Structure 1
Amino acid sequence: MIRWNADQTALREGLARFGDDLSAGHIEGDEQAAFSHDKWRMIQKTGILSLPFEERYGGLGQSLLTTMYVLEGLGHTCRDGGLNFSVTTSMASTGVPLQAFGSPALKDAYLPRIASGEAIGAHAITESESGSDAMQMRTRAVRDGDHFVLNGAKTFVSNGPVADVVVVYARTHPQGGALGVTAFLVDADTPGLTTGNPIKKMGLRTSPLSELYFDDVRVPADRVLGRVGGGFLVLDHVMKREILYTFIVNTGEMQHRLTRCLDYAKTRMSFGKPIGSYQSVANKIVDTKIRLETARKWLYDTAQRLEAGDNVTVDMAIAKLLTSESNLATSLAAVQVFGGNGYMSEYGLEKDVRNAVAGTIYSGSNEIQYNRIAAMLGLGK
């Protein structure tokens, strides 16, 4: 069990003061499916976007575990799940690879803006034809003097419609493969880069999603993150942090959901007794507690192993599977505990279900995670 020190607790408590304002109008915002720039400016004031980045770039220089602890607090205090998702997307998709693989010049130019939230980040990986099979991406980047020229299209780009800078993964070798993909840092206003209209989706509606189109987009060669052909090394580094950042937010959301269910079960009367006195209701709440604690432990334990330099391929897959499925299961349980009220939009619980479904798909679908674990066990050969 991790014991958080006074400084870590103070960071999380400082964020909690913004909870009511960040949550205001979250149900209406979901219905409108619009990104709130006002709430993003509020996020900037919290300082949460700067947590994992070096102080010389305007960051707070916090460890992975501290960053996760505060992000868990975001999930607990902010009811706008889409906003939470946009926060972790900008941090993990752009800030993390920039800090780990960017040149000094790139970090000087971009990292302070990402850390402050002045610039919103995104990454473009998925394509309509290849889906989860990133090895088969068709977006090409061809060297032309001191530039690369990008052509192709990406889909399911979270933050796409509002991003200022995008990490784009493209093939730099005709055959592609593990050594044929390169990561580029691309300004969203680069000529030839077109952003599609926001795509309507089931949940996380306040986090905008779009397609990106690349038509002879010229990107300076010094915008490569890492090395040419090393894109999958960058992506592997990013995805580990994306899973830890995003799904620890979900545990905060589950903690809030548990508290709501407990309060409701103790005060809602049925046949002269609190509904929590009925075993069928109590068991749902106990299962929520078990799922929450299991997911939280797997995420923090995996983060500790990652920091220690261990191979966390299986751990990461298990943590992602457990948390996403627990988030979905507990969101459905909450609707059932609240009964007819839970089914009504005004309680915000049906929105949690729609948001939770996404977690079983993004950051590598759960089917991919099962395949990964099976492969590490020597199956399927």
Structure 2
Amino acid sequence: MEDKTTAAAGPDWAEEVRAGAGALRRSGAGGRAPLDRAAWKELAGLGVAGLCLPERHGGRGAGAVDTARGLEALSAGYGDTGTAFAVAAHLLAGAVPLRDFGGAAGPLASLLPGVASGDVILANAMTEEASGSDIGAITTTAVRDGDSYVIDGDKSFVSNAPIAHVVVVYAVTDPDGGPFRTSAFAVPADTPGLTVGPAHPKSGLKGCPSAAVGLRGCRVPASLRIGFEGQGAALFQHAMAWERACLPAVLLGMMDAQVRDAAEHARRRHRFGRPLAEFQAVSHRVVDLHQRAEAARLMLHRACAALDRGEDDAVWRASSAKLAVTEAALENSVQALRLYGAAGLLEGGGPLRDLLDALHGPVFSGTSDIQREIIARGLGL
């Protein structure tokens, strides 16, 4: 496994991402929902499609902390949490396995320059209708046939599937292999037998297109297996640690905007001849928005630092960060909407859009209760 790069992106770099994403939004290039390949390529020009990839492949060489900061800046600048979520899924569930398990050379490594440049969009296909996030219960199979594998099965809720060039697919290669029963494959989206269903009509995170993926007799060269046969579960857990630690940063960008906009609303809006900000019930609610966001950010950065340093508790700290940020984002979205009254309920408005986006947080990358189970084990319970 290749060591993670940890080059510092630095505050100036993160601000460049924020400013560049904001410029795209103001130019009219941003805000396409759902995201398409043209908009993806524009975002990739900011360097975000290869944040955590090595510089030799055209990436930024960022570790987990700086990857999270870059994703937060993208979310805040672009103004669409779903779009930033799509980039995060591409990086953390797609690029991280290729980077750390794909080898230094060969067909998998050759994908990385395109991943960083925006020419190759990645999707992650693990979840199935009956098994959810339990990789030990998936039923998709990959049967070895000479120098290829033949993959059959169905995947649900595949983020980026409608626009992906390559799908990271998890499948059973040894039904009796216990913890080594699954393997992972980088399957080109144009492989015969791979089909992408209609885009899901989601309530939130609409900037990230998702769909079901079907695989019927998909013949994939063995050279596109990621890591060793039977390494799928370990590979998935490694990717999930990165995803749970870094991906919630897109919600931090949303929460920062909520605090800023709520404070401005409280200063501007008047009731009974006074600004709302002069009513303690309002000003204290804005303070609570700020406090929850800042506390969640600290927990996320702590988890990312644990990943960068290779600490033994990195996995459960990633779950702790995911739990803290997603639950804080949901609570902040409810409280921010209350500040706006009836105006906050208007369809397409910021408060309601944020709430619909935040509702996905306690579900994606493993539910909040799954994270609590992981944290409990980490605490020795």
* Equivalent residue number for residue 3 of structure 2: none
Deviation at 1:156, TM superposition (A): 0.4
| Kept after mapping to 2: 8 A contact 1:275/1:281 | yes
* Equivalent residue number for residue 97 of structure 1: 97
2:96 aligned partner, one-letter code: V
* Equivalent residue number for residue 327 of structure 1: 329
2:7 matched to 1:12? no
Partner deviation per Cα, 1:208-242 (whole Å, 9 max, x = no partner): 11111111111111111111001111111111111
* Equivalent residue number for residue 320 of structure 2: 318
Within 5 A, what are the aligned runs for 1:282-321?
Answer: 282-311=283-312, 312-321=314-323
* Equivalent residue number for residue 50 of structure 1: 50
Deviation at 1:145, TM superposition (A): 0.9
2:63 aligned partner, one-letter code: S
* Equivalent residue number for residue 182 of structure 1: 183
Among 349, 371, 374, the residue aligned to 1:372: 374
Deviation at 1:46, TM superposition (A): 0.9
Give the match's secondary structure for 1:299: helix
* Equivalent residue number for residue 122 of structure 1: 123
Structure 1 runs not aligned, ≥5 long: none
* Equivalent residue number for residue 193 of structure 1: 194
Give the match's secondary structure for 2:247: helix
Alpha-carbon separation, structure 1, partners of 2:137 and 2:8: 48
Deviation at 1:346, TM superposition (A): 4.6
Partner deviation per Cα, 1:43-77 (whole Å, 9 max, x = no partner): 02111112211122111222322222222211221
Instruction: Return the TM-score normalized by structure 2.
Output: 0.92
Deviation at 1:38, TM superposition (A): 3.5
2:257 matched to 1:256? yes
2:87 matched to 1:87? yes
Which 10-residue stretch deviates more, 81-90 or 7-16? 7-16
Deviation at 1:6, TM superposition (A): 9.8
Q: 1:56 to 1:29 in 2, by over 3 A?
A: closer
Deviation at 1:25, TM superposition (A): 9.7
Give the match's secondary structure for 1:358: coil
2:299 aligned partner, one-letter code: W
1:54 aligned partner, one-letter code: P
| Kept after mapping to 2: 8 A contact 1:135/1:176 | no
Partner deviation per Cα, 1:173-215 (whole Å, 9 max, x = no partner): 1136421110111101011111111111111112111111111
| Kept after mapping to 1: 8 A contact 2:242/2:318 | no
Give the match's secondary structure for 1:339: helix
Q: Which runs of 4+ in 1 moved over 6 A?
A: none
* Equivalent residue number for residue 228 of structure 1: 229
| Kept after mapping to 2: 8 A contact 1:22/1:39 | no
2:129 aligned partner, one-letter code: S
Deviation at 1:29, TM superposition (A): 5.5
Deviation at 1:343, TM superposition (A): 1.4
Structure 2 runs not aligned, ≥5 long: 1-6
Alpha-carbon separation, structure 2, partners of 1:7 and 1:369: 29
Q: 1:175 to 1:278 in 2, by over 3 A?
A: farther
Which 10-residue stretch deviates more, 350-359 or 370-379? 370-379
Instruction: Return the TM-score normalized by structure 1.
Output: 0.92
Deviation at 1:19, TM superposition (A): 3.2
Q: 1:64 to 1:6 in 2, by over 3 A?
A: closer
* Equivalent residue number for residue 157 of structure 2: 156
* Equivalent residue number for residue 171 of structure 2: 170
Alpha-carbon separation, structure 2, partners of 1:324 and 1:268: 29
Alpha-carbon separation, structure 1, partners of 2:8 and 2:230: 44
Alpha-carbon separation, structure 2, partners of 1:142 and 1:59: 34
| Kept after mapping to 1: 8 A contact 2:241/2:319 | no
2:211 matched to 1:210? yes
RMSD: 2.0
Alpha-carbon separation, structure 2, partners of 1:364 and 1:241: 13
